Structure 1
Amino acid sequence: MCLAIPTRVVELLPDSQALVDLGGVRKVISLELVDDIAVGDYVIVHVGYALTRLDPDEAAHTLALMTEAGIDVGSACP
């Protein structure tokens, strides 16, 4: 099962793609569905696509809740 989870953009790539990091796991995703994303932004990612930008405080809160619930965010397939 894949979850839509907050991930941090660490690098912008050509062709509307970005490298994101989630707990040390890095993956290339598509930014085709969102506008004006910058390095350091948090985005909600599902099946390889950023769906929306997320406030950094909300991202931290969501990730903390997922960890508290026992979800290994590094393997939740961003």
Structure 2
Amino acid sequence: MCLAIPMRIESIEGFTARCQAKGVWRDVSLFMMQDTLPAVGDFVMVHVGYAIQTVTEADARTSWDLLDQILEGQAQEAGGA
């Protein structure tokens, strides 16, 4: 299974963006998006260290909410097992 996480770009240097999501910071490669480079403040989907597409802030927040629900469900299942 593949999973991409939405992150907000805080700074860009060359083809490397410093991104943040829910207090977690990562350096992310923009190499795969060089035809349409995102800007500081944009939200991007990050998969294995690469930004693969831009998304709206609303879509990023929806994804974070869904991921939180999944993790909460897994924690409840683990506690009840």
TM-score above 0.5, yes or no: yes
Which is richer in helix?
2
Structure with the bigger RCO (C-alpha within 8 Å, sep 6+) is 1
Residue in structure 2 matched with residue 6 of structure 1 by the alignment: 6
C-alpha separation in 1, matches of 2:7 and 2:23: 10
Deviating beyond 3 angstroms after TM superposition, the runs of 4 or more aligned structure 1 residues are: none
Unaligned runs of 5+ in 1: 72-78
Aligned residue pairs total 70
Unaligned runs of 5+ in 2: 73-81
C-alpha separation in 1, matches of 2:60 and 2:69: 14
Please report how far the alpha carbon of residue 2 of structure 1 lies from its aligned counterpart in structure 2 after TM superposition: 7.0
TM-score norm. by structure 2 comes to 0.77
**SS state of the match for residue 69, structure 1?**
helix
Structure 1 segment 33-72 matched on structure 2, within 5 A? 33-34=32-33, 35-70=36-71
Cα RMSD after superposing both structures: 1.7
C-alpha separation in 2, matches of 1:46 and 1:3: 6
In our comparison, the structure showing a higher alpha carbon Rg is 2
Query: Identity rate of aligned residues, in percent?
Result: 36
Residue in structure 1 matched with residue 76 of structure 2 by the alignment: none
Residue in structure 1 matched with residue 75 of structure 2 by the alignment: none
